[in-house]
Amino acid sequence: MPYLDSGGRQRLNSPHDAGRSSRRRPNPHSQGRGSSNGSSRLRSSDGRRGRNGYSSLRSHNIRFGRNSSMNRLFGGNLQGVLLIVAAIAILVVIILGISSCVHGCSSKQETPEVNENDSRVAAGVSADLTQQFTTALDRDDQLSWIAANADKYSDTAMLELALNEPAAIDFVASYPNSDKTAELYGDSVTAGSAPQLYDWDKRWGNVDYAGSALGVTGSGPTALSMAYMGITGSTDKTAADIANLVTSSGLATGDSYMDGSFLENHAADLNLACKTYEPSADNLLTVLDAGTYIMIEAKAGTLTSETHWVLLVTENSDTSVVVYDPTSTEVSSVSWTASKLASSCSTLYSLTAATKDDSSSSSTTKSSK
């Protein structure tokens, strides 16, 4: 049914028919021929077909929204998945960093401090204590060596010395390879103060004396050397020098490897004077009060298990006596009663500096006080 439009022109169809006409499917026979303006407008107004032949491409839009294939693959939440992946990556980095730190820290902790003086002793121990440990550890090593090479020692007394006297272990260990010669004393002494010496000192202990090493047989020469140095202040007569004198006199004999007669008859050879006294506590203390030294030949089983010579140095305020035992650091470390010392010997041999009035030989008269 015709109607008038707003311009007063007549139209064939009603508005309702126009709406239906705009939605009406075009005639398939007329499409693609391009002869009708109406069909041309219809194709262009449809928006899904065009003149250049790419209408089918435009009809398949590439979309990455919620309904895209990527979203469908990850359940519609691609952003969340990406956040999770990023979080995992950050967590891995953190774990690797912590692991590296822990490894570095543990490496530092696993490197212990070392004692600069002796690595066998824990770090932080004082130098003095470290030295004591070092000495003990070295002695243990040396004692093990001595035990493994015991067949190199012809005198078992040397092995017993190493077992009984820790301070002598170094001497015993070095003895098989020593050249058996003596050395100078080297230290300084002062007249009136006898040095404390031991048989096993390497400066003389290696030399031969009385059928063995002076280190195990030389208590007499060593005790006399201490008295000589204390009286004269000279160091020119070591135990080795005196051992030569005793050997030359033929008196390197007896259980102590030096007969007491050497002191009586040959003290003058050392510019010393010797007097003998009956052994008693009173005699012993009186002689020491006079500023002299006394040598005694201690019997076996008294001060030690063996017969040997010792030097009595001075009297303490409590009347005990300082003893320098050249065979034992233990005996030398304590004071002894005068009665104990007197009972351990048969004669007291006092030694002083020789004077013009002294004869060329020492006095051999036993005195009693």
- Asked if pLDDT for residue 171 goes beyond 70, the answer is yes
Is 334 found in the same domain as 211? yes
Return the top range by mean pLDDT from 26-35, 91-100, 111-120. Answer: 111-120
Q: Give the pLDDT band (50/70/90) at residue 9.
A: low
For residues 151-158, average pLDDT? 95
Q: Give residue 41's pLDDT.
A: 44
Query: For residues 365 and 276, is the Cβ–Cβ distance under 8 A?
Result: yes
Report the distance separating Cα 102 and Cα 309, nearest Å: 68
- Asked if pLDDT for residue 165 goes beyond 90, the answer is yes
Is residue 106, in this structure, part of any structural domain at all?
no
* pLDDT tens per residue across span 230-282: 999 999 999 999 999 999 999 999 999 999 999 999 999 999 999 999 999 99
Is 37 found in the same domain as 138? no
Is residue 165, in this structure, part of any structural domain at all?
yes
- Asked if pLDDT for residue 53 goes beyond 70, the answer is no
- % the chain with pLDDT above 70: 73
pTM as predicted: 0.67
* pLDDT tens per residue across span 337-357: 999 999 999 999 999 999 877
Q: Give residue 262's pLDDT.
A: 98
Is residue 287, in this structure, part of any structural domain at all?
yes
Integer CA distances (angstroms), 254 to 220, 312, 365, in order: 11, 21, 22
Is residue 333, in this structure, part of any structural domain at all?
yes
Is residue 142, in this structure, part of any structural domain at all?
yes
Is 174 found in the same domain as 36? no
Total count of domains within the chain: 2
Is 316 found in the same domain as 194? yes
Is 311 found in the same domain as 162? yes
- % the chain with pLDDT above 90: 60
* pLDDT tens per residue across span 10-21: 555 544 444 444
Is residue 12, in this structure, part of any structural domain at all?
yes
- Asked if pLDDT for residue 77 goes beyond 90, the answer is no
Residues contacting 67, CB < 8 A, separation 6+: none
Is 273 found in the same domain as 176? yes
Is 295 found in the same domain as 148? yes
At residue 213, the 3 state secondary structure works out as strand
Domain that holds residue 324: 127-367
Q: Give the pLDDT band (50/70/90) at residue 96.
A: confident
Return the top range by mean pLDDT from 63-72, 90-99, 116-125. Answer: 116-125
Is residue 70, in this structure, part of any structural domain at all?
no
At residue 339, the 3 state secondary structure works out as helix
Query: For residues 220 and 244, is the Cβ–Cβ distance under 8 A?
Result: no
> Residue 209: which CATH number?
3.90.70.10
Is 272 found in the same domain as 147? yes
- Asked if pLDDT for residue 45 goes beyond 60, the answer is no
Is 35 found in the same domain as 144? no
Q: Give residue 39's pLDDT.
A: 42
**Which tokens is 56 given?**
């089918």
Is residue 193, in this structure, part of any structural domain at all?
yes
